[in-house]
């Protein structure tokens, strides 16, 4: 089973929830944690895996053979992403803008372009006790993350619980991370900010046809805003974690919430039981 943890926005406690869920689930069986927030991976700070494998992820980019190039300008014309500029004496490539679509090498009339490779980041694999761990690290200055997210997701192991820590937002990287999940847990805060981001995250999951449920983090007891939203959209509100300075301090030092507050394990056990029952399928739209 694949569970994605998303929030529409960073800082709502997504990693707190995802890492705690992994720790609690590992007490019962095999778990794989996949940190797909490749721009800012920080699941490893909570779960402290020992690394055993590292692999470079590459994407295709054009390689231009200056001898064959006639400077006709066709490549720059077909490149929808403006990654190529044909100057009077040479063709210039802006690699971070290239999407590797292959248009230029398929369509260069002089056969001057061939596909080459460019490194965009690494996938690292390790384990933390019974939790298998995978994450991607995007190189600094790199703008395109979906291929790296894809590389992380290729490590998904069928037959066990896979927990995906999704990146923030609702655009292509999140879509890539959440697509294909069996369930999406939406983590939010009981504030107008939280509600605003929750709406976007919910719309995103609904668009992908992934059933979802909501977890409130940093609750002060008055969660009416979120409750109302869940009620109106027929999304289950699965659990609420209270606001807790100790937990915030633990997070700052890299200590998972369920270690600071073992009492919170109950919420995650309930969630696992709920997922096992599979009743959520009805809530999908």
Partner 1 sequence: MRELVVLSGKGGTGKTTVCGSLAVLASNKVMADCDVDAANLHLLLDPVLKFSSPFYGLKKATINREKCLGCNLCLHLCRYDAIGPGFVVDPVLCEGCAVCCHACPCGAVEMIEHVAGYLFLSDTRYGSLVHARLGIAEDNSGKLVAAVRKEARRLAEEEKKELVITDGPPGIGCPAISCLSGADLVLVVTEPTFSGRHDLERVLELAKHFGCQAAVCINKWDLEPENTRVLESLCNQYSVPVVGYLPYDESVMGAVKSGRPVIQECSGPMAEGMLALWDKLKALLELR
Chain positions contacting ligand SF4, by CB under 6 A: 62, 64, 69-75, 78-79, 81, 83-84, 86, 91, 98-104, 108, 110, 112-113
Is 88 a residue that touches partner 1 (CB under 8 A)? no
Part in contact with partner 1 (CB under 8 A); list of ranges 75-83, 151-159, 259-267, 277-285 = 75-83
Q: Which does 136 bind (CB under 5 to 8 A by kind): ligand SF4, partner 1, none?
A: none
- In this structure, the chain runs to a length of 285
Q: Which does 36 bind (CB under 5 to 8 A by kind): partner 1, ligand SF4, none?
A: none
Q: Which of 35, 125, 142, 165 binds partner 1 (CB under 8 A)?
A: 142
Q: Which of 248, 259, 265, 274 binds partner 1 (CB under 8 A)?
A: 248
Q: Which of 27, 30, 42, 265 binds partner 1 (CB under 8 A)?
A: 42
Is 190 a residue that touches partner 1 (CB under 8 A)? yes
Is 143 a residue that touches partner 1 (CB under 8 A)? yes
Part in contact with partner 1 (CB under 8 A); list of ranges 28-36, 78-86, 124-132, 266-274 = 78-86
- Contact in structure between 35 and 276 (CB atoms under 8 Å): no
Q: Which of 55, 90, 154, 220 binds partner 1 (CB under 8 A)?
A: 220
Q: How far is the CB of 62 from ligand SF4 (least distance, A)?
A: 5
DSSP one-letter string for the chain: -EEEEE-SSTTSSHHHHHHHHHHHHHTTS-EEEEE--TTS--HHHHH-PEEEEEEEEEEEEEEE-TTT-----HHHHH-TT--EEE-SS-EEE-GGG-----HHHHH-TT--EEEEEEEEEEEEEEEETTEEEEEEEEPTT----HHHHHHHHTT--TTSEEEEEPPSSSSHHHHHHHTT-SEEEEEE-SSHHHHHHHHHHHHHHHHHT--EEEEEEEE-S--HHHHHHHHHHT--EEEEEE--HHHHHHHHHT--HHHH-GGGHHHHHHHHHHHHHTGGGGG--
List residues binding partner 1 (CB under 8 A): 8-12, 39-40, 42, 45, 60, 78, 80-81, 96, 99-103, 106-107, 138, 140-145, 167-173, 175, 190-193, 196-197, 200, 203-204, 207, 218, 220, 243, 245, 248-249, 251-254
């Amino acid at each position: 089973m694949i569970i994605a943890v998303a929030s529409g926005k960073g800082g709502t406690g997504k990693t707190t929830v995802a890492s705690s869920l992994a720790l609690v689930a590992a007490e019962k069986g095999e778990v794989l944690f996949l940190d797909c927030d490749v721009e800012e991976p920080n699941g490893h700070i909570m779960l402290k895996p020992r690394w055993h494998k590292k692999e470079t992820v590459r994407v295709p980019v054009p390689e231009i053979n200056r001898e064959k190039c006639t400077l006709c300008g066709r490549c720059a014309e077909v490149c929808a992403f403006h990654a190529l500029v044909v100057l009077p004496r040479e063709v210039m490539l802006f690699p971070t803008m290239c999407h590797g679509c292959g248009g230029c090498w398929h369509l260069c009339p002089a056969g001057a372009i061939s596909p080459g490779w460019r490194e965009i980041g690494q996938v690292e694999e390790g384990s933390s006790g019974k939790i298998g761990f995978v994450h991607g690290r995007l190189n600094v200055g790199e703008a395109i993350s979906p291929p790296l997210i894809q590389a992380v997701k290729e490590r998904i192991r069928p037959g066990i619980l896979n927990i995906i820590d999704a990146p923030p937002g609702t655009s292509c990287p999140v879509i890539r991370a959440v697509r294909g999940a069996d369930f999406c847990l939406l983590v939010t805060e009981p504030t107008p900010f939280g509600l605003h981001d929750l709406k976007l995250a919910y719309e995103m999951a609904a668009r992908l046809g992934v059933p979802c449920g909501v977890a409130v983090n940093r609750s002060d007891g008055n969660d009416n805003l979120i409750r109302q939203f869940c009620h109106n959209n027929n999304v289950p509100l699965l659990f609420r974690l209270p606001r807790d300075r100790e937990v915030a301090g633990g997070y700052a030092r890299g200590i998972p919430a369920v270690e600071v507050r073992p009492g919170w394990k109950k919420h995650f056990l309930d969630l696992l039981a709920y997922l096992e029952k599979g009743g959520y399928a009805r809530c999908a739209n």
